[in-house]
């Protein structure tokens, strides 16, 4: 079947829903809209959660995951895609199988493992599957410090250790690894490891507890800019600007780690 062409880039999120709307597929689709691309999705699981905790997680059947890929491939093929929370080894294997035989453009992997509330979002048995199958498919991987430590099998307590972990992850064949600095005690410096180079992206820390969905939002923004044709390093830099603006404009909702403002002043670009 022919896929209709369009002047509007399409970006896909392959992830899990968030009933609170601050993270997961809901945050990704808002981010896609704010960054001027059309968003589509493949859900691998559903969550019942709010800003305080994850109440329950409902995995979706692998056959249904396949059907979503087929439906998009036939009519709304993405120019770029991202993965978020994938929950289990079986779901990661299914997603990798689907992506490997489709031409969906560059892949951004947000290696989601634990929610802001502390609830685990990736089964421990699935970490090695992620390292072995999913990461090598990615053009960009965006771990925070704890995720970088798990993926690299190295301690990450300082910026120097974060850089070492990023290089170890990049050695798996990933062109761009962004080790996010939000967990550091100082300014949130993101380290972009690409080829034999390292680019430091600095930013001001916004003092707020409302940071639910920052990782999803950042990786979705990178995906959107790549879908629009930006080179990866510029896409990463623009995504950091966007997520910083989204954190600064947080609406202050919820009793826990509240959501960002996915449409801060000036986004979509040129508005406001």
Out of 30, 82, 116, 180, pick the active-site residue. Answer: 180
3-state secondary structure 31-56: HHHHCCCEEEEEEEEEEEECCCCEEE
> 56: how many CB neighbours lie within 10 A of its CB?
9
User: H-type helices in the chain, by residue range?
Assistant: 24-34, 62-75, 89-100, 127-129, 145-152, 159-170, 214-227, 232-248
Out of 20, 24, 181, 213, pick the active-site residue. Answer: 213
Three-state DSSP class for residue 126:
helix
Out of 31, 51, 129, 211, pick the active-site residue. Answer: 211
Out of 13, 16, 142, 214, pick the active-site residue. Answer: 214
How far apart are the C-alpha atoms of 238 and 35, rounded to whole Å? 10
**Residue bearing tokens 């997961």:** 24
Is 213 one of the catalytic residues?
yes
Out of 216, 240, 244, 258, pick the active-site residue. Answer: 216
Out of 20, 84, 215, 258, pick the active-site residue. Answer: 215
Is 180 one of the catalytic residues?
yes
Is 211 one of the catalytic residues?
yes
In the sheet that 140-141 helps form, which strands lie side by side, from edge to edge? 54-59, 38-49, 10-16, 80-83, 107-109, 140-141, 176-179, 190-194, 197-201
What is the 8-class DSSP label of residue 183? T
How far apart are the C-alpha atoms of 60 and 266, rounded to whole Å? 37
- Tell me which residues are annotated as active site: 180, 211, 213-216
């Amino acid at each position: 079947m022919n896929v209709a062409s369009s002047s509007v880039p399409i970006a896909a999120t392959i992830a899990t829903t968030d009933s609170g709307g601050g993270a997961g597929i809901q945050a990704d689709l808002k981010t896609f809209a704010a960054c001027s691309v059309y968003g589509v999705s493949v859900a691998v699981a559903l969550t019942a959660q709010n800003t305080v905790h994850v109440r329950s997680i409902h995995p979706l059947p692998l056959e249904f995951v396949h059907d979503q890929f087929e439906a998009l491939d036939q009519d709304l093929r993405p120019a770029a895609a991202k993965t978020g929370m994938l929950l289990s080894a079986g779901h990661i294997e299914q997603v990798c199988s689907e992506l490997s035989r489709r031409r969906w453009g560059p892949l951004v992997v947000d290696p989601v493992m634990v929610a802001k509330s502390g609830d685990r979002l990736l089964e421990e048995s699935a970490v090695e599957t992620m390292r072995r199958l999913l990461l090598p498919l990615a053009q960009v991987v965006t771990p925070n410090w704890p995720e970088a430590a798990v993926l690299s099998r190295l301690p990450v307590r300082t910026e120097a250790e974060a850089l070492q972990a990023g290089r170890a992850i990049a050695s798996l064949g990933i062109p761009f690894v962004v080790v996010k600095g939000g967990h550091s005690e100082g300014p949130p410096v993101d380290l972009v490891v690409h080829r034999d180079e390292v680019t430091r992206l600095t930013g001001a820390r916004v003092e707020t507890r409302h940071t639910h969905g920052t990782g999803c939002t950042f990786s979705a923004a990178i995906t959107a800019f790549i879908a629009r044709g930006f080179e990866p390093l510029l896409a990463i830099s623009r995504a950091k600007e966007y997520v910083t603006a989204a954190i600064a404009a947080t609406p202050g909702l919820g009793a826990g780690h509240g959501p960002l403002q996915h449409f801060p002043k000036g986004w979509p670009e040129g508005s406001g």
